[in-house]
Structure 1
Amino acid sequence: MAHWTRLALVPLLAQVALASPVPDGDHSSVHLDQRDSDSRDYASPPYYPTPPGGWLSDWSDAYEKAQKVVSNMTLAEKVNMTSGTGFFMGPCVGQTGSAPRFGIPNICLQDSPLGIRNSDHNTAFPPGITVGATFNKELMYARGVGLGEEARGKGVNVLLGPAVGPIGRKPRGGRSWETFGVDPTLQAIGGAQTIKGMQSTGAIAALKHFIGNEQEMYRMSSVVSKGYSSNIDDRTLHELYLWPFAEGVRAGVGSLMTAYNDVNSSACSQNSKLLNGILKDELGFQGFVMTDWLGHYSGVGSALAGLDMSMPGDGAVPLFGDSYWASELSKSVLNGSVPVTRILATWYKLGQDKDYPLPNFSTNTQDRTGSLYPGALVSPSGVVNQYVDVQGNHNVTVRAVAREAITLLKNEKNLLPLRRNDSLKIFGQDAGGNPDGLNKCSDQGCDKGVLTMGWGSGTARLPYLITPQKAIANVSKNAQFYITDSFPSDVTANANDIAVVFINADSGENYITVEDNPGDRTKAGLYAWHDGDKLVKAAAEKFSNVVVVVHTVGPIIMDEWIDLKSVKAVVVAYLPGQEAGNSLVDVLFGAYSPSGHLPYTIPRSESDYPDSVSLIKQPFGQIQDTYTEGLYVDYRHFLKANVTPRYHFGHGLSYTTFNFSKPTLSKVTPLDSAYPSARPSKGATPTYSTKIPDASEVSWSSTHFTRIWRYLYPYLDHPESISAKDKYPYPDGYTTTPQPAPRAGGGQGGNPALFDVAFSVKVQVQNTGKRRGRAVAQLYVELPKDLGLDTPSLQLRQFEKTKELAPGQSETLTLDISRKDVSVWDTKVQDWKAPVHGKGIKVWVGHSVGDLSVVCEVGGRCSTQ
């Protein structure tokens, strides 16, 4: 092959692996650290070749359609579908080339997980962390439907979400708010429900970021630096970080985006163990894998390792008109059928060959007309924005999600709900809007006004914003507003006054720095921004009744003021999207009882976390971020370390009270053996000719259109000069002999037997208070110690939410748990191991991980405590 491939493959030669477990970290102080962790144990053999897709019956028809088309494609058409056209080279944040001869358009890929980024007449939904706090599966699905409908309406083929990575290992990590919470089951259910909702509309979901992208700083490799390596042992990867991705694959997700960073010293976008071995073989992923934007680091090497699509297509430096794929892939390809088959099979699977709209918006401008290819200095122009309104009634879903997420942490003397005639004094800029105007900060890259979302590519423009100030003014005539983060010196406080103090904490993606925070919360730490703690204390000193409202991307430290006598109530409203004020007023004034629960732990001090989850800064060399805490992240760590947090994971109060009673546990599918039954064998997969294509298929002389400068094409000027006899330095361990089928595989997400319902728990939930409300039943599993492995004492494995119950009303909830839910990953056998007959398993049900009132022992009785 040509010399370029030798250069491009340098990063691939140190192939990734999954290593053995390492000791747990200590509980020392957590700051921005400089560490040189030893990563020598984090390497293993590569995994080749890429398993072909199409062997599952659910996908066989789509693959058959794709095979018929791909078999008749030219090499140029194949390469066109796998390569992006370049940065700013089309209406979307990324797009592939097209194959007009087969009716296949450019595939449009667009952010974000909470709405159509950089668009118009779209909805700004609440992000993942808010959705997770609802613990409401129906709302998770409904929001997914709304996202899919808007993607389809705008002509977006692939909407880049949901995000289930990062999982929130690092409390100050910049993008945890895009995901559903610091627990693999909460992430898994949130992600799967979102995917099902999105793809019910025909839009393709993109599950991201695969995997170990837990810190924003130093995540990317470039011509001058190497992104950090997340060093994760095999068991931790399977039981924690891979868990939500497996459920997303099981839900039928059409595409997956790789992370920027390395895992065990190999870049995720060319990591054969992760992509070929775990994702496509063990998890049976049938869709296609894309890079994150400019997260493509090699040419042939990444194709061999399991990558299917390069986004946005550029090489190491954007807008230079070069690429690791595109024309370079044309030079090197032997066949080219497998990546494009996966892409087209997904296109067919989601029915996008049947009247799916073309893009009618531009991510590059809000003007009606403009350049069609802004990345080129000279470009044809035309209508780029048709201003298609795709909002429908999605504001109803936005308000419902934001409302049901609201979590009441504290409510002494039942200060809440407020009455409409209460004398209110409202403090904090977070109660108002951005004084510079709506959407004045690009990608929400500022903290001005009420915090509706974090910043970065995971955002959307707000079509409108109902601020808390506006919503409160609509229901109260006795409210005075002080939209400032400095407590006014001239405020008077009467005995009947109630102070409502708004504070927030922001974070986002690393390409934007906000108030000296480069994505991750480096300067702010886990404290409120804009001296929010000081504002609360000032109000508490003057007023005898204070309500604190927190809009936040993640946990914040509250200990400076949470125990003050005047601070009677604390509400966490997360990131509510465009209906921020209405959703909050719904709860503050009692139209609805709060029913949200914390999707993470709130600690008393940042030093309560293990040292290994701190942010890392290292001036030279590649950062080695070794996951020495293993499985003990968030509440798992607090339980093991016997550290009582300020508020437990899952905590959330209501204006009413609930009682759990009459629990029962029934065995559904017997656990007759430690390991699941043998996996199903793979079905047939499409086959293709391995004949090297004729060079004329990628020759510029065969085309009849004008080249756009910097646009990435599959064509070559003199392809006939490329010899197929050139030697190619294949990666160590490369082979064309298929690997033995992983015993843990066999279906989408793994062996179908893993998802058999093992136990079903029923519990009656009664509203024992005086107001209407909804309760969440959280189910945690305690595994027996005789499994011989160090396992967290409690792990969330299921949850259900009641309908709205009137006082005295009851509802019986059913919580099913699968074989996998009560299994551990056996690193030697490479399969999931469960206690035979469920011996020694305990199942706990309650309001939070710190408030579990129901326990059932497998083979024994259930009781309430």
Structure 2
Amino acid sequence: MADSEAAELNIDEILAKLTLGQKVKLLSGHGWWHTTPIPEAGIPAVRMSDGPNGVRGTRFFNGVPSSCFPSSTGLGSSFDVQLAAEVGKALADECHAKGCHVLLGPTVNTQRSPLGGRGFESFSEDPHLNGTIAAAYVNGLQSKGVAATIKHFATNDQEFERFSIDSIVSERALREIYLKPFQIALKDANPWAFMTAYNRLNGTHCSENKHLLDNILRKEWGFKGMVMSDWTGTYSTAESIQAGMDLEMPGPTTMRGNAVIRSVVGQKLFPEDIDNCARKVLGLLQHAYDSGIPFDAPEQTLDTPQVRSLLRKASADAVVLLKNENRVLPIKSDKRKIAVIGPNAKYAVTSGGGSAALLSTYTVSPLEGITAAAKEIGAEVKYTVGSLSHQYLPVIDPYISHGGKDKTAFFEFWNESPTEDFLSTSPDFSNQLPPCAWSTKTNSGQCFLADGIDDSKVNEVCWLKFSTTFTPDEDGDWDVSLNVAGRGNLFIDGKLIIDLSTNPAPGESFFGLGTEDIRKVLKGLKAGTKHEIEIRLSNKDFIAKGAPFSTRGGIRLGAIKQLDAEQGLKDAIAAAKDSDVAILVIGLNNDWESEGHDRQNMDLPGLTNRLVTEVLSVNPNTIVVNQSGTPVEMPWVEEAHTLVQAFYGGNEVGNGLADVLFGKVNPSGKLALTFPKRLEDNPSYPSFGDKGQSHGKIVYNEGVFVGYRGYEVKKLAPLFPFGYGLSYTTFEHSSLELSPVSPDGKFTVSFTVKNTGDVEGREVSQVYVADPESSLPRPVKELAGFSKVSLKAGESQKVTVSLDKYALSFYDERKGSWVAEAGKFAVYVAASSEDVKLSGEVQLAKSFFWNGL
């Protein structure tokens, strides 16, 4: 039964043949990425992989390269359901190449605050847009047999104390804002798996929250699939099983195994409880068989012209044009000299950090994309960085080789300390180290050693040596940095440079498991001169302290030539003055936006704001491109007449951006997130993160007034509103028609969209509904539907958006049900939450209540 051919499983028959011990094995994972196989019963291991914007495969360390698609906030800002489905199908193809049956995505946690470390992973602050794009993604993925795992269920909206924080949310806000995207995705796409959140919800961890998993998900919504924990997110045995959390991940088990059997013996659990969970795991196995994906298959890279084309299309469609007051865009052929400036120009920032990060098959930086596009119009490009914006130094990878030959480094592993002074700050390098237990090559100075190690040769507790050759490409002083998971030291040419072996302070790297990041200066380096690097590391103390999952540790080694801050700004000003157009590529990166920590503020890093101001002052044709997964403050926005929001664009971030800047693609994105003028205006402020918690609790004080709902009810003008985005053409809306509302709340909104400009373009028309007569305070208006159409210059098209009872309803906590109250409702057709084009009115004759989907 363990071959790759589709098999129809008789799950009841299989369960009847399994022993209690075998069933219990099914309830926890085998290693990081597989369910537990039971070979004697013919049950293979189902393989999983991190998403949501790519398929990493089974290894953090030395993984097989993959395609990285734009971050979810970028995909959400496309407002393109068809594109989301295409991305889902492409990710399914990636899963087939990686032998992966289950993708751990999409993420649909509502962004309460711009500071959320994983905010870039979800599609929107609005539950309807979030859930609708997620449903299309899931349908695309599962159409090719790969199971989607929608996550993190629920209210996993911040990284601070994410394993323990208690989200205190009213039932109404929970239903209308935080569960709604999951509900929409389940109704419209039926993902085959759910993943529980790390945090508590109203006092109970989500992985053992019976109200969430059983009452709502199973009974009310009718979910029949499997529920798994987030990695190390299971905190109980009997409680989690009774709540309906089927699978503990990863393995080996912490809370199940023999503890489950003991709970059965003590009748805290009963055999039918185990059967219920095991049945769901076997149901996922059935999907794995149906997919045709082989079990335990070798992993392969998928890199085809078709994939590259979709990556490029998705990257361009994730770009939002925010300002074009002087019509500098698109860049025309009369611009002969182009200056590219900024910290995000030379490096391809493909995604945020953490579970979303992967080794891309290839990358195209903004500088590379712009240079290629400029060449086509005969323009010259000059680059200067201007200022730096990294939190950690860029990884040393471009400058390393092993033995001076290839772009690699060498790892050696021992199961006991090779010498007495191995972790000393002054080891005797003349002592020859004994043969290692195992060794391997790597091509990076950033290695998380959670997998990819030969477990048959390397113990969990081990000693490591990383060695490579560092060759700077410029004369001058260079900064180097190191942080590790474990204890270790950096030596260059036999000299101690960084000591992280002597009581290292904790830091935020490696999912919060690493040390602080230490920087040192190497004076007077010469380009082309080789320097021998050695990092000695042990994970002994790391393991002894109780790491939440098994890992041999990790290193992150960075290097960059020092930049004098004032000289960098002077070089940028000079380049901008000497150009017909200046393109400033600024923003954040995966140092700042990552799983494991939240941002502390909305500021752009370093001297970025000063850089923008200085360049704007010397070149009237300056294009500011901000690249971030979530909003940032822009104190220079009034001076910037041309502004683009690029998000994280995946492999093709550079080409996608260039396609928009040079007019190959007419931008059509609309912001899936409100950009506030300042952090204090955000509705969640100050009840968010480490500054908002109160003895382990976060109170969702804003209730249902999240995102644009909060700005509108308080009459606070944002920097850029939800749903806002410009085009190189213009559109007109007319001829609004509203059908009568049926007794069960269904009606249609029809209107005509016309392209009134002179180039082809795509317009996102948004339909909002308001209930001015509600018995409870409700948002000024709420997104209920949207449509995206492509129109040639002068072309018109009639658009119809179908709405249902949820467009009229709110959640009534007194009755524990949804209610659509009789009365009049305002209907708006808009270009953004602030830009209403058409308005009308419908009437519901009689109130009605319901539960379920």
Common topology (TM > 0.5) = yes
How far residue 343 of structure 1 moved from its aligned partner, in angstroms, is 1.8
Q: Measure the CA separation in 1 of the matches of 2:108 and 2:127.
A: 9
State whether structure 2 residue 552 is matched by structure 1 residue 479. Answer: no
User: Which deviates further from its counterpart, 63-72 or 465-474?
Assistant: 63-72
Which of 222, 237, 252 is 2:174 aligned to? 237
Using a 3 Å threshold, how does the CA distance of structure 1 residues 63 and 282 change in structure 2: closer, same or farther? Answer: farther
Output aligned runs, 1:610-759, within 5 Å.
610=683, 612=685, 614-617=687-690, 622-667=695-740, 669-671=742-744, 758-759=746-747
| Aligned residues of 1:600 and 1:650 also touching (Cα < 8 A) | yes
Which of 41, 47, 50 is 1:108 aligned to? 47
Which of 58, 71, 76 is 1:132 aligned to? 76
Partner of 2:432: none
Output aligned runs, 1:263-412, within 5 Å.
263-314=201-252, 323-333=254-264, 334-335=270-271, 336-348=274-286, 350=287, 352-353=289-290, 355-361=292-298, 386-389=299-302, 393-412=306-325
Letter in 2 for 1:563: E
Using a 3 Å threshold, how does the CA distance of structure 1 residues 71 and 247 change in structure 2: closer, same or farther? Answer: farther
| Secondary structure of residue in 1 paired with 2:250 | coil
Output aligned runs, 1:155-234, within 5 Å.
155-165=99-109, 167-220=110-163, 227-234=164-171
Greater strand share, 1 or 2?
2
How far residue 451 of structure 1 moved from its aligned partner, in angstroms, is 2.2
Moved over 4 A (4+): 61-64, 492-496, 507-512, 611-614, 618-622
| Aligned residues of 1:781 and 1:794 also touching (Cα < 8 A) | yes
State whether structure 2 residue 835 is matched by structure 1 residue 851. Answer: yes
Output aligned runs, 1:510-589, within 5 Å.
519-522=597-600, 525-558=601-634, 560-564=635-639, 567-589=640-662
Output aligned runs, 1:471-510, within 5 Å.
471-476=369-374, 477-485=379-387, 486-489=568-571, 491=574, 494=577, 497-506=580-589
Using a 3 Å threshold, how does the CA distance of structure 1 residues 594 and 354 change in structure 2: closer, same or farther? Answer: closer
Q: Measure the CA separation in 2 of the matches of 1:822 and 1:342.
A: 35
Q: Percent identity?
A: 32
Q: Measure the CA separation in 1 of the matches of 2:757 and 2:105.
A: 39
| Aligned residues of 2:364 and 2:655 also touching (Cα < 8 A) | yes
| Aligned residues of 2:113 and 2:684 also touching (Cα < 8 A) | no
Deviations 1:505-545 (A, max 9, x none): 23579987xxxxx62111xx112223221110110122122
Using a 3 Å threshold, how does the CA distance of structure 1 residues 666 and 510 change in structure 2: closer, same or farther? Answer: closer
Output aligned runs, 1:36-47, within 5 Å.
none
Q: Measure the CA separation in 2 of the matches of 1:852 and 1:184.
A: 20
Partner of 1:780: 768
Which of 746, 750, 754 is 1:762 aligned to? 750
User: Which deviates further from its counterpart, 269-278 or 131-140?
Assistant: 269-278
Q: How many residues align?
A: 640
Partner of 2:199: 261
| Secondary structure of residue in 1 paired with 2:125 | coil
How far residue 138 of structure 1 moved from its aligned partner, in angstroms, is 0.1
Q: Measure the CA separation in 2 of the matches of 1:146 and 1:279.
A: 28
| Secondary structure of residue in 2 paired with 1:840 | strand
| Aligned residues of 1:104 and 1:353 also touching (Cα < 8 A) | no
| Aligned residues of 1:507 and 1:520 also touching (Cα < 8 A) | no
| Secondary structure of residue in 1 paired with 2:814 | coil
Q: Measure the CA separation in 1 of the matches of 2:776 and 2:16.
A: 50
Deviations 1:536-569 (A, max 9, x none): 01101221221100110101111x21111xx220
Partner of 1:27: none
User: Which deviates further from its counterpart, 391-400 or 193-202?
Assistant: 391-400
User: Which deviates further from its counterpart, 95-104 or 255-264?
Assistant: 95-104
State whether structure 2 residue 498 is matched by structure 1 residue 425. Answer: no
| Aligned residues of 1:63 and 1:345 also touching (Cα < 8 A) | no
Partner of 1:721: none
Deviations 1:375-422 (A, max 9, x none): xxxxxxxxxxx5453657222222112111211111012111101341
| Aligned residues of 1:82 and 1:309 also touching (Cα < 8 A) | yes
Q: Measure the CA separation in 2 of the matches of 1:663 and 1:352.
A: 49
Partner of 1:792: 779
Deviations 1:34-62 (A, max 9, x none): xxxxxxxxxxxxxxxxxxxxxxxxxxx99
| Aligned residues of 2:144 and 2:291 also touching (Cα < 8 A) | no
Letter in 2 for 1:552: S
Using a 3 Å threshold, how does the CA distance of structure 1 residues 784 and 352 change in structure 2: closer, same or farther? Answer: farther
Partner of 1:444: none
| Aligned residues of 1:169 and 1:613 also touching (Cα < 8 A) | no
Using a 3 Å threshold, how does the CA distance of structure 1 residues 497 and 509 change in structure 2: closer, same or farther? Answer: closer
Using a 3 Å threshold, how does the CA distance of structure 1 residues 248 and 613 change in structure 2: closer, same or farther? Answer: farther
How far residue 73 of structure 1 moved from its aligned partner, in angstroms, is 1.9
Letter in 1 for 2:367: Q
Q: Measure the CA separation in 1 of the matches of 2:236 and 2:592.
A: 24
Using a 3 Å threshold, how does the CA distance of structure 1 residues 390 and 491 change in structure 2: closer, same or farther? Answer: closer
Q: Measure the CA separation in 2 of the matches of 1:390 and 1:537.
A: 41
| Secondary structure of residue in 2 paired with 1:491 | helix
| Aligned residues of 1:121 and 1:391 also touching (Cα < 8 A) | no
The unaligned stretches of length 5 or more in structure 2 are 1-5, 265-269, 388-567, 845-853
Letter in 1 for 2:614: A
Using a 3 Å threshold, how does the CA distance of structure 1 residues 844 and 613 change in structure 2: closer, same or farther? Answer: farther
| Secondary structure of residue in 1 paired with 2:831 | strand
Partner of 1:600: 673
User: Which deviates further from its counterpart, 652-661 or 460-469?
Assistant: 460-469
Letter in 1 for 2:312: R
Output aligned runs, 1:769-848, within 5 Å.
769-785=757-773, 787-803=774-790, 805-836=791-822, 839-848=823-832
Q: Measure the CA separation in 2 of the matches of 1:353 and 1:64.
A: 10
| Aligned residues of 2:107 and 2:151 also touching (Cα < 8 A) | yes
Which of 47, 62, 78 is 2:23 aligned to? 78
Which of 66, 69, 74 is 2:11 aligned to? 66
How far residue 584 of structure 1 moved from its aligned partner, in angstroms, is 0.8
| Aligned residues of 1:314 and 1:324 also touching (Cα < 8 A) | no
Q: Measure the CA separation in 2 of the matches of 1:632 and 1:307.
A: 31
Deviations 1:651-700 (A, max 9, x none): 001110000111111136334xxxxxxxxxxxxxxxxxxxxxxxxxxxxx
Q: Measure the CA separation in 2 of the matches of 1:202 and 1:493.
A: 51
How far residue 192 of structure 1 moved from its aligned partner, in angstroms, is 0.8
Q: CA RMSD in A?
A: 2.3
Q: Measure the CA separation in 1 of the matches of 2:303 and 2:605.
A: 34
How far residue 102 of structure 1 moved from its aligned partner, in angstroms, is 4.8
Higher-RCO chain (CA-CA 8 Å, sequence separation at least 6)? 1
| Secondary structure of residue in 2 paired with 1:181 | coil
| Aligned residues of 1:215 and 1:520 also touching (Cα < 8 A) | yes
Deviations 1:73-131 (A, max 9, x none): 2223212221112xxx3xxx322211335543112121021111244242111121111
Q: Measure the CA separation in 2 of the matches of 1:611 and 1:113.
A: 25
Q: Measure the CA separation in 1 of the matches of 2:167 and 2:252.
A: 25
| Aligned residues of 1:207 and 1:256 also touching (Cα < 8 A) | yes
Partner of 1:249: 186
